[in-house]
A and B are shown apart, each in its own frame.
Chain A
Amino acid sequence: MKYIGEPITRVDGHEKVTGQAKYAAEFNVPDLAYGVVVSSTITKGRIIRLDTSRALAVNGVIAVFTHENRPKTAWFDVSYKDQDAPPGSPFRPLYDNEIKYNGQPVALVVAETFELARYAAMLVDVAYEATPCDTDLLKHLDAVRDPNPGVMNIFKPLPPKPRGDADQAFAEAPVQQSAQYIHGMQHHNPMEMFASTVEYGKNGFLTIYDKTQGVTNSLLYVTQAFNIPFNQVRVVSPYVGGAFGSGLRPQYQLFLAVMAARDLKRSVRVSLTRQQMWSFGHRPATVQNVRLGARPDGTLTSITHEAMAATSQFEDYMETVVNWTGKLYPSENATLRYKIKSLDLYTPLDMRAPGGVTGLHAIESAVDELAYKLGMDPLDFRLKNYTERDWTEKDKPFSSKELRECFRQGAERFGWATRNPEPRSMQRGHNLIGWGMATGIWDAAQVPARAEATLTVNGKLRVRSATADIGTGTYTIMTQIAADTLGMPIDDVVFRLGDTTMPPAPIQGGSWTASTVGSAVKSACDALAKTLFRMAKRLPKSPFVGVGFDDVQFIDGAIQLRQNPSKRVSLLEVVSRNRGRAVTETATSIPNLIKHNSHSRNAHAAAFVEVQVDEEFGTVHVTRAVTAVAAGRILNPRTARSQIIGGMVWGISHALQEESVMDHRYGRFMNHDLAEYHIPVCADIHDLDVVFVEENDTIVNPLGVKGVGEIGLVAMPAAIANAIFHATGKRIYDLPIQLDKVM
């Protein structure tokens, strides 16, 4: 293979840095009207009066849509369910006068220009009758309950049944550790704000440019909610300016833009403001209790890990928080619990490494603290309790697990062996230095997808699948896979995505796109190869008479006999004999369930971190970090490294800075802009290093890939918290670890 595994530069890089790549709010269509959303300023209650007259009086305002005058949409709430909808009743914009959360859209002002719409939106007078709201999870820990399971539980399983007796084993354990960990809410805040440009075409045909992680999802949502036939809508989303999970569900601007366009019979764009990026899904607040018991030799004998998380009043969002603990540690006695509490918030939404970054912070901090109580090196403790089987999934073996190698190579690169375990033992000037480590684990999922491969009459390869590239490098790796499968120079290959006229692919999330769409691309290209070979055999004077498919290889844009490379036919020649027509094949890739069901499939990582703490001020800098990753085959070390580095930066953010702060008296987020919602700046990021550990996996999918979107993130927060302990002797359980907690 020529391209797979090589650090190919991004094929869409040039378009992006030259501004040619267009995002949802940048598609300019003729006669466009602009919509601006008016957001609720209360959290719970009713709209008792809504006066739009002042807004409508503004010259240039076309319409103001509210619950009172909105056009009819689907009657039943199930019609508003998208592919990622948790169990419950989805939020319906402008449905009635009830307010369910702060920032809820209450009106859409449509005007000839954006500026006019924005102005008129300020003139919409809304009077509310507010009732007291409940938004603070910490006040309701005694009222949590089991989540209703939904279809998504296939990918986000509920905790396994307990095994053994964790309580008794804990009571009997000579060495015990227990603590509570608190995580606040976070919002995805991709660079690009949510926007939809709806082009109103002939006979009401809608072309929708949407910010989404799945055009198919947006299409299904729109056609159901508005009761429009599939063939009347096309959703396009070639570029996404980051999403991190926020685009897994259609957001309300899509609904509002479609509603307005259909009613006005005119093209409409609705884009949200940065502040409105706090008015939908988020990472939920979560409180976790971890209790561990061990024998003096370090064997874990009891694990209790319970998580309590917030959801909305209308949907039971859940994520996998505690199961990771079971996958990593084989204690004979273990209870894992996951509970939720409905509060007056919007429904949470998967945010990069949902549940994983939360749960692993708790267990990997707890394990470190226990290792200290045992007087063991935290790395030795993890090796002592290493497992080759996953008891949370019927004790199946892992499809592959090179975590041991991650520990070894990561530790070596970092220099872990020279660490003095004593807290406060390292200093640099007036700063304390600490080293910490933690384990990471994430799913290696694959779901069905479809792709189409075409050899054009010019002998170029064009491959398409309706997936998304949220900045991760999907365009690039799919181009590599296609080029290698058909043995073509990469410059002759174009991969296209993000359009519902293409074969469907699932929403892009959970680090499954490389495996899922990659497998589909490979299948389609394999199918095309077979067809081209058949055609080559039928050519006059074909060198392949009597030759089987396995006897040839596709190389340098030609089919050639393995045994005798001089017997070859170029692909251009094959297609040129096709009466002026391109050759196309479509294929669906389906996960191999037999292989899958007999194995637990995960990517692993180990993070090693150095922090520098100015104890007087409590300021923490992550001065150095190494993450060793075992994620199957690495398709492109350049884009994969970017993913891991980005994950590590996010881990630093999660551990030290990031939190959506709410005033629970009002149920409103108070730091809803990027000046006050802190994520790291360049000056916060120092030396980050990535080691990819070789891992061969023949179970996960034909490509042997596991995805790298989340695995770089999950181990970092605990590694940082553990390093802070090593530096200062202080355990800090609540994130983010801001300076007042350290000083």
Chain B
Amino acid sequence: MRPFRFTNAKDAASAVRSLTGNPNARFLAGGTNLLDLMKEDVERPDELIDITRLPLTQIRTITSGPNQGGLSIGGLGRNADAANHPLVRQNYPLLTQAILAGASGQIRNMATNGGNLLQRTRCPYFYEVSMPCNKREPDESSARAGCGALEGINRMHAIFGWSEKCVAVYPSDMAIALAALDATVNVRKADGQERSIAFADFHRLPGDTPEKDTNLNHGELITAIELPRNRFADHSYYLKVRDRSSYAFALVSVAAALEMKENRIVQARIAMGGVAHKPWRALKAEQLLVGKEASDATFRQAAEAEMAGARPLSHNKFKVELSNRSIVRALQMAVNGGKA
């Protein structure tokens, strides 16, 4: 780990100002991702601004604006608190399930909601500074330019939306639920103004700039995540398929949320994790489901429609069929209110 300056942010305004003034500064939230990356020499900030004391931890019902009646979750609240808050458990059980499917109890106690959205890929080539990686070394003249995973070990990698430059997947579970729930991310900009970013626009596909995970600008602070009101609470499910029962990243995960009228699907939201560089909204599948009677055949049809566009890599062909089955199972579980 390299030496860095450490400061405590007194308020949001000065935090944003300090960060904006130094391109090599980073916010320090729970540190569960950033500090690991610093130890591996992947991240090399020369200044850390501790934002954990900023009063941005509340969870409250939104009383005005487009998301009125929805829920605002503070950007610096801890993952564990968000998962277990009564309003989240009651109205957004999908989010509770997704958060609790991630990491471990200890990490969820440290990790913040804003930090979770900004956690970086677990691609082993990204983590290993001796290996080629375009995300870590965007400069094409770098000795470590290239994508180690493209023709290397890519069992965990993308099947949707990847480019020759990068085939990494985005690892967060929480964000997959947020994508399905059409959340918005509120950020504070350098000029002191706030802006809201629709969840679908928050994370990016790699394209030619894999070094950019999100559309957040340097210096912007995540202040809150907003969830609109919805009618999904009775019919949602977060399914995570992984190599062990806990403490493993998703090979494939599916956040499914349905609004049902008797057995008919009124609205459907499906987001997938472990398949792309961002939470993957299965829009094709969603469209196919709306207005249909819930049935295994319909679910399978919807899943296949979505997965027809998949482009697997050398080690992850299994992810395509695994995704098919995961979508079907998640929908079945959602219909049954989360029970098998």
Q: Which residues of B contact A616 (CB under 8 A)?
A: 325, 329
Cβ of B334 to closest chain A Cβ, rounded Å: 16
Query: B41: CB under 8 A from chain A?
Result: yes
Interface assignment of B246: CB less than 8 Å from any CB of chain A:
yes
A41 cross-chain contacts in B, Cβ below 8 A: 130
Which of B3, B247, B248, B321 has the most CB atoms of chain A within a 10 A radius of its CB? B247
Contact status B124-A683, CB under 8 Å:
no
Instruction: Check if B261 is an interface residue, CB within 8 A of chain A.
Output: no
Is B243 in contact with A122, judged by CB distance below 8 angstroms? no
Contact between chains at B1 and A743 (CB < 8 Å): no
With a cutoff of 8 Å between Cβ atoms, the chain B residues found around residue A668 in the complex are 128, 130-131
Q: A202 at the A/B interface (Cβ < 8 Å)?
A: no
Q: Is A550 on the interface with B (CB-CB < 8 A)?
A: no
Cross-chain contact A429 with B244 (CB below 8 angstroms)? no
- Inter-subunit contact A621/B245 (CB<8 Å): yes
Instruction: Verify A617–B122 contact, CB threshold 8 A.
Output: no
Contact yes or no, B2 A122, CB < 8 A = yes
**B153 within 8 A of partner (CB):** yes
**Chain B, residue nearest A666 (CB):** B131
Query: What is the distance, in angstroms, from A62's C-beta to the closest C-beta of chain B?
Result: 18
Please tell me if B185 contacts chain A, counting CB pairs below 8 Å. Answer: no
A115-B1, A663-B152, A663-B153 are known contacts. Are A684 and B245 too (CB-CB below 8 A)?
A: yes
Chain B, 289-340, CB within 8 A of any chain A CB = 318, 321-322, 325-326, 329, 340
Of the residues A429, A619, A676, A743, contact of B122 by C-beta under 8 Å: A676
B275 within 8 A of A: no
Q: Is the CB of A670 within 8 A of B124?
A: yes
- Residue B115 lies at the interface, judged by CB distance under 8 Å to chain A: no
Contact of A617 among B1, B153, B322 (CB under 8 A): B322
Residues of A within 8 A of B245 (CB): 621, 681, 683-684
Residues of B within 8 A of A740 (CB): 155, 318, 322
Q: B residues 28-53 with Cβ under 8 Å of A?
A: 41
| Cβ contacts under 8 Å, A681 to chain B | 244-247
The verdict on A739 contacting B246 (CB below 8 Å), with A115-B1, A671-B124 known, is: no
A234 to B53, CA, bound (A): 50
How far is B155's CA from A740's CA once the two chains are assembled, in angstroms?
A: 10
Bound-state CA distance A119–B46 (Å) is 13
Give Cα A557 to B273, complex, Å.
67
What's the A-B contact tally at a CB cutoff of 8 Å?
71
Docked Cα-Cα span, A52 to B41, in Å, equals: 18
Interface pair A670/B244, CB less than 8 Å apart: no
* Chain A CB within 8 A of B219 CB: no
| CB 8 Å contact bits of A675-690 with B (1 = contact, 0 = none) | 1101011111000000
Q: Which residues of B contact A670 (CB under 8 A)?
A: 124-125, 128, 152-153
Q: CB distance A743 to B318 under 8 Å?
A: yes
Q: In residues 584-617 of chain A, which contact B (Cβ within 8 Å)?
A: 616-617
Q: Which residues of B contact A657 (CB under 8 A)?
A: 243-244
Nearest residue (CB) in B for A123 is B2
Specify which of B2, B155, B244, B318 lies most central, judged by the most chain A CB atoms within 10 Å of its CB.
B244
Tell me the B201-248 residues at the A interface (CB within 8 Å).
241, 243-248
Known: A675-B122, A739-B251. A429 touches B340 (CB 8 A): yes
Asked if B148 is an interface residue, CB under 8 A from chain A, the answer is yes
Please state if A119 and B1 are interface contacts (CB–CB under 8 Å): yes
Cβ of A64 to closest chain B Cβ, rounded Å = 17
Q: What CA separation (Å) do A403 and B157 show in the bound complex? A: 46
Residue pair B248, A678 in contact (C-beta under 8 Å) = yes
Interface contact B3-A119, CB-CB below 8 Å? yes
Q: How many whole Å from B41's CB to the nearest CB in chain A?
A: 6
B321 engages A743 (CB within 8 Å): yes
Question: Any chain B CB within 8 A of the CB of A118?
Answer: yes
Assess the A619–B241 pair: CB atoms within 8 A.
yes
Chain A residues near B131: list those with CB within 8 A: 663, 666, 668
| B interface residues, how many (CB within 8 angstroms) | 29
Shortest distance between the CB of B182 and any CB in chain A (Å): 28
Q: How far is the CA of A675 from the CA of B243 in the complex (A)?
A: 11
User: Residues 176-205 of chain B: 1 if any A CB is under 8 Å from the residue's CB, otherwise 0?
Assistant: 000000000000000000000000000000
Tell me, in angstroms, the Cα distance from A739 to B124 when the chains sit together. 20
Contacts of A447 in B (CB 8 A): none
Kindly state the separation between the CA atoms of A451 and B247 in the bound complex, as whole angstroms.
Answer: 45
Chain A stretch 392-410: residues in CB contact (< 8 A) with chain B:
none
Inter-chain contacts of A430 with B (CB < 8 A): 340
Whether a CB of chain B sits under 8 angstroms from the CB of A738 is yes
Q: Which residue of B lies closest to A676 (CB)?
A: B124
Min C-beta distance of B1 to chain A, whole Å: 6
Question: Interface code B127-147, partner A: CB below 8 Å = 1, 0 otherwise?
Answer: 010110000000000000000
Q: Report if A661 contacts B (CB, 8 A).
A: yes
Q: How far is the CB of B81 from chain A (nearest CB, A)?
A: 22
Chain B residue with the shortest CB-CB distance to A103: B130
User: Do A617 and B128 touch (CB < 8 A)?
Assistant: no
Q: Which residue of B lies closest to A673 (CB)?
A: B127
Alpha-carbon distance A738/B315, docked complex (angstroms): 13
A275 to B251, CA, bound (A): 23
Query: Which of B122, B124, B318 neighbours the largest number of chain A CB atoms within 10 Å of its CB?
Result: B124
Considering the complex, give the chain B residue whose CB is closest to the CB of A275: B40
Complexed CA–CA distance, A740 and B315 (Å): 10
Point out the residues of chain B lying under 8 angstroms from A619, CB to CB: 241
Contacts of B1 in A (CB 8 A): 115, 118-119, 122
Nearest A residue to B340 via CB reads A429
Q: What separation, in Å, do the CA atoms of A532 and B243 have in the docked complex? A: 61
Q: A119-B2, A670-B128 are in contact. Are A678 and B41 (CB under 8 A)?
A: no
* Neighbouring A residues of B321 by C-beta, 8 Å: 743
Measured between C-beta atoms, what is the minimum distance from A80 to chain B in Å? 27
Over the window 412-446 of chain A, the binary record of Cβ atoms lying under 8 Å from chain B Cβ atoms (1 yes, 0 no) is: 00000000000000000110000000000000000
Known: A119-B1, A681-B247. A617 touches B41 (CB 8 A): no
Query: Is A373 an interface residue, CB under 8 A from the partner?
Result: no
Q: Name A685's closest neighbour in chain B (CB-CB).
A: B245
20 A–B contacts from the bound complex (CB under 8 Å): A119-B2, A122-B2, A429-B340, A617-B329, A657-B244, A663-B131, A663-B152, A668-B130, A668-B131, A670-B124, A670-B125, A671-B124, A675-B122, A681-B245, A683-B245, A684-B244, A684-B246, A739-B241, A740-B155, A743-B321
Interface contacts beyond A617-B329, A663-B148, A676-B124: sample of 19 additional A-B pairs, CB < 8 Å, sorted by A: A41-B130, A122-B1, A122-B2, A616-B325, A618-B322, A619-B241, A621-B245, A657-B244, A663-B131, A663-B152, A666-B131, A670-B128, A671-B124, A675-B247, A678-B248, A682-B246, A683-B245, A684-B245, A739-B241
Chain A residues in contact with chain B, CB under 8 A?
41, 115, 118-119, 122, 429-430, 616-619, 621, 657, 661, 663, 665-666, 668, 670-671, 675-676, 678, 680-684, 738-740, 743
Chain B residues proximal to chain A, CB less than 8 Å: 1-3, 41, 122, 124-125, 128, 130-131, 148, 152-153, 155, 241, 243-248, 251, 318, 321-322, 325-326, 329, 340
Please list the 10 inter-chain residue pairs (A to B) with the smallest Cβ-Cβ separation, ordered nearest first: A41-B130, A683-B245, A740-B318, A670-B124, A683-B246, A616-B325, A681-B246, A684-B245, A681-B247, A663-B152
